[in-house]
Chain A
Amino acid sequence: MTVLLRSSEIAKKPVVTFAGEAVAQVKDIVYGTTGDVQGFTLAGRGLFAGPLKTSVPWPAVVGLGPDAVMIADESALVDTAELLAGGSGVAGGAAGAGNVLDSQVLTDDGMALGRVVDVVIEVGEPTGTGAPTAEVVGYEIDPAEALGRGKNRLLIPLPDTLAASGEHLIVPAAAREFVREDLAGFGAAVDDFRARLGHGPVGGQPATGAAPPTSPAQVAAPAPVAAPAPVADPAPVADPAPVATPAPVAAPEAQPAPVPVDPAPSAGGSSPAGSSPASGPATSGPVPAAPVPVPETAGADEPSPLSAPDPAGQPRSLNEVFFPPEGAAPAPGAPAEPAHPSSGRWRRAADTPDAGAVDPVPDPGLPTRTATSDGQDR
């Protein structure tokens, strides 16, 4: 069983030996280059106790729970300098290669999601006789206004690897879809997010998340925010990222947007995104995003009980698009086709020769647009 903990919950936790003695308390968390927890720097216990010169390396940690960090005995402590030499960042404000707190989180398409206020760590079961696993799986952020999610803190999942400096963290644009407001269900969101990145789009692209099979609606939202900045001013930490927006170009209803985007500047990678795995496919020109949902549409040839409309006349399936049957208030331009066999009133878009005109990029996780009998999109 794994447990998700905020790093702020770990700070000040007592470090307890098997003999039942609290030898110190956690001061800071030291992260490795891949987001793994390298160990903890320590402070003495007590109101006026200062920092200690010793630290706990992660392999010495026997258990990390909501109430204490458990170690076998004090001999497990090492010199702090030794620990920091192997780490890459510190959460909490001490020295080190960089402090992830207060860094700005940018998507690889150039949208600022917010600033890091906390780090979410997933603690797994101990492996054999060794220490339990601990990995940074997400950040808690103060969201940027452009995210449109209010002012409450949000949790965003992280990919397995990411580019980070003391100033910015670059995450795949797909992270936006997996934002959560609390830890409940966040573990599943992390898994889903990484599965998305790991499997990648159907077109055989490398796993990036930069050209995710997002629906046009989802991509259209950030576009106005992300596009202008890099195009107008490539100098700052610029995000070549908007280049990622060509992905939905294949979708007929995608925003008109970044047509003038030149792959060249993005190939230059003037921002950390250049080192992100996302930059590769993002610069590879328009991405055939359409293949992603195709199997669903193609697999919908056979009538399904779910595809029959409910008594109220509304289609039940979220993955099929229905048009009114012939003679029943046809939508303008809709070709005359036989009614759906299961309803008498509806026919599936997949059954029509004009099925390709239907939004070809439905997100599997979101409801698609449906057409009602009066021809209105819903």
Chain B
Amino acid sequence: MLFSEAKGHKVVATDAAATVGRVDGFIVDPAAQQIIGLELGRTPGAGDTLPWANIQGFGRDAVTVGAGAMIVTAEGPLAEQAGKDHALLRKRVLSTAGVELGILRDVEFDPATGQVQQLLLDQGTVDAARLIGAGSYAVVVRA
């Protein structure tokens, strides 16, 4: 599944069968090439972050959670990697050799595990195993 496909998905609490948010973004640990949480919008409470571990299912049409209380305020590693500075999309991709490979347009991930699989650039793709960092200036991949 692509980030572009998953963005906007409803987040539904299975205990109340109610929509408790909408997927706005992805929090990725670049070093582990792993999605560690979702940034949500339109949440009923103060929390706006859904840790990946709290997700019950990531389907084609919705993300399910056990209860609305599983949506939390970002702390620890989630807080470190959240925000626009650490977002992947629309950033330049630099190799460790100092060569710009292009702009990151989309990311393919495994909805079952949250593992990032491919980085889709303007031209071509980059294996996500090469991903090592994402900051305000660039996404960095191994040369």
B140 with A20: CB separation less than 8 A: yes
- Is the pair B137, A14 in contact by a Cβ cutoff of 8 Å? yes
A64 to B99, CA, bound (A): 8
- Shortest 5 CB-CB distances between A and B: which pairs? A65-B98, A20-B135, A22-B137, A21-B135, A67-B100
B16 at the interface (CB under 8 A from A): no
Are A21 and B136 in touch, CB under 8 angstroms? yes
With beta carbons under 8 angstroms apart, the residue of A13, A14, A65, A132 that contacts B95 is A65
Task: Assess whether B97 is in contact with A20, with CB atoms less than 8 Å apart.
Answer: no
Question: B80 to nearest A CB, angstroms?
Answer: 10
Most buried by B among A14, A66, A70: A70
Q: Are A20 and B99 in contact (CB under 8 A)?
A: no
- Asked if A70 contacts B96 (CB within 8 A), the reply is yes
Indicate whether A68 sits within 8 Å of B94 (C-beta atoms), given known contacts A19-B140, A63-B143. yes
Which residues does chain B contribute within 8 Å of A66, judged by CB atoms?
A: 98-100
Q: Is B132 in the interface zone, CB < 8 Å from A?
A: yes
CA distance A18 to B96 in the complex (A): 7
Q: Which residues of A line the B interface, CB within 8 A?
A: 13-14, 16-22, 62-70, 132
A-B contact pairs, 15 of them (CB 8 A): A16-B137, A17-B140, A19-B133, A20-B86, A20-B94, A20-B135, A20-B137, A20-B139, A20-B140, A21-B135, A22-B138, A63-B97, A65-B95, A69-B98, A70-B97
A16-B140, A19-B140, A22-B138 in contact; A62/B133 too (CB < 8 A)?
no
A144 to B137, CA, bound (A): 43
A181 to B116, CA, bound (A): 47
**With A14-B137, A70-B140: A20-B96 Cβ-Cβ less than 8 Å:** no
A68 to B96, CA, bound (A): 9
- Please list the residues of chain B having a beta carbon within 8 angstroms of any beta carbon in chain A: 30, 86, 91, 94-100, 132-140, 143
Quick one: given A20-B91, A20-B140, A70-B140, are A62 and B135 in contact (CB under 8 Å)?
no
Q: How long is the Cα–Cα vector from A21 to B140 in the complex, in angstroms?
A: 9
Which residue of A is nearest B94, CB measured?
Answer: A68
Are B133 and A20 within 8 A (Cβ)?
yes
Give Cα distance in the complex from A14 to B137, angstroms.
9
Contact A67 B98 (CB under 8 A): yes
Contacting pair B135 A19 (CB below 8 A): yes
Query: A22–B100 Cα gap in the complex (Å)?
Result: 13
Shortest Cβ gap from B32 to chain A (Å) = 14
> B97, B100, B133, B143: which has the most chain A beta carbons within 10 Å?
B97
Assembled-state Cα–Cα distance A66/B100 (Å) = 8
Give the residue among B98, B99, B134 with the most A Cβ atoms within 10 A: B98
| Contact A63–B98 (Cβ < 8 Å) | yes
**In whole Å, how far is B28's beta carbon from the nearest beta carbon of chain A?**
12
